[in-house]
Amino acid sequence: MELNRNQFFFLGVVIVLLGAQFRMVSSYVLTQDATRFLAERTRSTATESVLVSLASDTGNLPRKVIRPPEWLGWCLISVGSVLILHSLAMKKPGS
């Protein structure tokens, strides 16, 4: 499938807005379900798996906080801007 001008523009706008959101928000707090999902899939030691299973049984699993690095927002804004500029340089669909 070949992407046309409109699709490049839309993808660029979405990536720029995502980058702006990463720049405006310093951290994300996950819900209990999302924290449990990540904890079950990222166990590294037997001790951690026992602690996670005990905490999830009692419902006291601490919520996971994700702090994206500062450069991530700038990177997404730049990539999105390049996609937008690229879309403006392309031919219009149907011509």
Question: What is residue 39's predicted lDDT score, i.e. its pLDDT?
Answer: 79
Same domain, 46 and 35: yes
Q: Which of 18, 9, 13, 8 is nearest to 72 (CA)?
A: 18
Question: What is residue 42's predicted lDDT score, i.e. its pLDDT?
Answer: 81
Same domain, 38 and 19: no
Task: Report how far residue 45's alpha carbon sits from residue 38's, in angstroms, rounded to the nearest whole number.
Answer: 14
Same domain, 74 and 61: no
Digit-by-digit pLDDT tens for the chain (95 residues) are 788 899 999 999 999 999 999 999 999 998 888 888 887 888 755 555 555 565 655 566 778 889 999 999 999 999 999 999 999 998 887 77
Same domain, 81 and 58: no
Same domain, 72 and 54: no
How many separate domains does the chain show?
Answer: 2
Question: What is residue 91's predicted lDDT score, i.e. its pLDDT?
Answer: 85
Same domain, 72 and 62: no
Question: What is residue 79's predicted lDDT score, i.e. its pLDDT?
Answer: 97
Task: Report how far residue 20's alpha carbon sits from residue 11's, in angstroms, rounded to the nearest whole number.
Answer: 14
Domain encompassing residue 89: 1-26+67-95
Same domain, 75 and 86: yes
Treating both helix axes as pointing N-terminal to C-terminal, what angle do 46-58 and 32-41 enclose, rounded to 10 degrees?
160
Question: What is residue 2's predicted lDDT score, i.e. its pLDDT?
Answer: 84
